[in-house]
Structure formats: structure tokens, C-alpha cells
Amino acid sequence: MENRDNVIEVQHVSKLYGLNKAEAAHMMSEGSDKKEVREKTGVSVACGTLT
């Protein structure tokens, strides 16, 4: 049997909670922080830009 290493790489992962996720995701990609996103969209950001 061959030995195979499985590797998964993810970058810039965020979990968004709320109704307006598209706008929140756009704001995050434009550099807004989690607090600003929450205040303007009502969406909570968990694990902001986890790599």
C-alpha cells in the first residue's frame, strides 16, 4: 500500500452569521474589521480571515 499525505490548505476564511452575508463579505474583502461589519450590516464575523 502506498503512503499518501493528504494536505488541505485554506486562506482568507471567515464564517459569517446573519442575513446580509454578501455585503459583509464584500466589506471584509475591502479591509473592514469585524466591528465595522457588525455595526453596518448586523452580520457577525467569526474567525475573520483565518489562514
**CA 1 to chain centroid:** 38
| Cβ neighbours of 37 (radius 10 Å) | 24
pLDDT tens-digit profile of 1-50?
566 776 887 777 889 999 999 999 999 999 999 999 999 999 999 875 55
Collapsed DSSP state (helix, strand, coil) of residue 13? strand
* Residue indicated by cell numbers 480571515: 49
pLDDT at 31: 92
pLDDT at 11: 77
Q: Where are the domains of the chain?
A: 15-50
